[in-house]
Each structure stands twice: as structure tokens, then as C-alpha cells.
Amino acid sequence: MFRFGFITALFGLALIPLAAALMWRGAADRRRALSRFGDLALVRQLSRTVNHRARVWKGVALLAVLGFAVVAMARPQFGSRVETVRREGMDIVVALDLSTSMLAEDIAPNRLQRSKLEIQRLIQRLDGDRIGLIAFAGQAFVQSPLTSDYGAARLFLNAMDTELAPVQGTDLGAALELAFDAFSDAPVEERIIIVVTDGEDHEGGIETAVERAVETGVTIHTVGIGSTDGVPIPEFDGRGAQTGFKRDEEGAVITTRLEEATLRQIAQRTGGQLFRSTPEASELTALIDEIAALGGREIDAREVTQFEEQFQIFLGAAILLLFLEGLWSDRRQTTRAWRGRFS
């Protein structure tokens, strides 16, 4: 089977007739210049050593060099072999907290933006794995189903904001339940849930979700965002300008803190780990490295026809012709008679 790896380069073959036309035009201009130089018969006598046929063949050789060079650029491929390509990976579901407490600025620029940056880093390290995104606050919903299209996953991640959550609050249990349902037919040892949150839960239901994870063998890693000291939650107007801090019904400023104990318990009971997001991000780097080292199951296998690159043949022919053209003289070999010259 024969094909070209860069077939667009074959448009360069259009240069051959153009080059031939330029050569013909040059030869015609040379003849006209010689006719103006002097008597045509005398000019022919003076230039009788010129081998016009050799000049024509040298021109043909240069056109062939151009043709072979263009074909080499088009990467001709023939001589194929069939290989089986296997793709391995894991199914990873990331549940991101979109509650208003994630707008706290104890981690720059704020908890939510920092979380999205860390998830971006995770996606960049994936290779063959599938990733899904769950958004949750007072309710949970699927932002992106499991996919190996990392570009699409980044787009969905960038769109995640607290305004997407129609009901505020933090229902971590609902997020875990939805994450379980997002998995397809992957074995439990290739299922990972990563929860990125400040750990505050106002709805309950965590115990039931953790029991389900323990029974099914799903590993849950938790990423704690924020500090353990209480910090206020900023409020913004429609233009994005901060108007103050969130307050309760009595007018007191509401503070939010990382509930590390809850996240540690979830991770430990399901065989996962708790990772704190610090300004250096070293802890989350450890999580990314751990997931990257796990490998995973074979997701799919397909046969791919591999073609052998053969541009070297045409490139070699072009170089050889160019070398021979340089050695090929366009002058006739003449025999000079010395008899009588000195008498």
C-alpha cells in the first residue's frame, strides 16, 4: 500500500513546468543576445564547442531534481505493518465545591480559583485516563461526564463558578453519590474520586456515601482548600466589585474554616489520603504523582497500520542527480592539430 504523509507538498510539482518555462525563456534570450552581438555564422563558429544537447539534458536533470525533492517533502510511505495499540488508564471523578465559602481569600486568589488551577495541573498530567467533573453546593450535578478529551474537560472546568450552583450550601454526600453513578464499567480498583472542598457540610448524608464507597471499594482522596482559622466570605456586586462580607441575619460577619477532620475521616475510611492545598502546592503535587504512577486498566485496543517512511529514496535520487549534473560538462571535447603551426 502506498500513500503520502504530507500530500499537500505535491502542489510543489507545479513548479516544474514553471521552471521549464523559465529555462526556455532564458535560452531564447541568450540566442537573441548572440544574434545582436555579431554575425550569426561567426558567433556559431566561436561557440562551436558548446554542446547544446548536453545543455538540454542538464536542464532536464535539474527539473528531475526539483521533482524528486518535492516528492521527498511529501513523505512517500509504503511497506506497511500492523501493530496493536493499547490504551491504559483509570477513571477519575473530581468533585469541586462551588459554595460561596469557596470565595474566601485565605488562599490567593481565592479558594475556588486555586482549586481550579490545581485541577488543571492534574488534567495536564493525565495520559490515557478518563476524567469527569462534578459540581456541588446545596445540590450536585454533573459538569462533565467521564472523557479522555482533556481540552473539553478544561473548558468545562473553566466555566465552573459559584453562580452555577442554584442552591447554596454544601451537600458533600450528594456529590459523592453522584460521583459513584458517574462511573461506567470500570473495575473498582481503577475508580478514584477526588473531592476538592473546604470540608464544611451543611446537609449531612456523608456517612451513607462513605459506607457505599467502602462496600464498593472506591478510593476517595480529599483535597482541603483553605485555612483552619476562620476567615470572612466576600460579597460582590453585579460588576464584580467587592461590596463587603457575607453576614448572618443578626448582621454578624460569617466566617468559614477548613474542616480538616471530616475530610481526613472520609479519606482514611476509603483507602485514600487527605491533601492540604498550601501556597507551595507541594501536597497536591504528591497526589498528582501518585495517580500518575498507578497506571490503570486497558481501556481499549485497536490495530493500527504503520507505514514506513521512504522519502530517503527520492531525496537520495535528487542529491545524486544534482551531483551528476554538476559533473556533466556542456562543452564538446575537441582535438587540436599542432601540425604546421611553427613552420
Q: Tell me 190's DSSP state.
A: G
Planar angle of CA 82, 87, 88, nearest 5 degrees: 145
pLDDT tens-digit map of 282-294: 566 677 777 766 6
Going from the C-alpha of 133 to that of each of 194, 252, 296, 300, 340, the distances in angstroms are 10, 35, 19, 22, 103
pTM of the model: 0.61
pLDDT tens-digit map of 137-149: 888 899 999 888 8
Question: Where, residue-wise, is CATH 3.40.50.410 in the chain?
Answer: 91-295
**Is residue 47 predicted with pLDDT exceeding 70?**
no
- Which cell numbers in the block locate residue 320? 545524486
User: In whole angstroms, what separates CA 131 from the centre of its chain?
Assistant: 16
126-140, 141-155, 187-201: segment of lowest average pLDDT:
187-201
Query: Using CA of residue 14, residue 19, residue 20, residue 22, what is the dihedral sign?
Result: positive
**Fold of the domain spanning 91-295:** Rossmann fold (3.40.50)
- DSSP states of 303-321: EEEEEEE-HHHHHHHHHHH
Give the pLDDT mean for 131-137. 91
Q: Which residues face 277 on adjacent strands?
A: 225
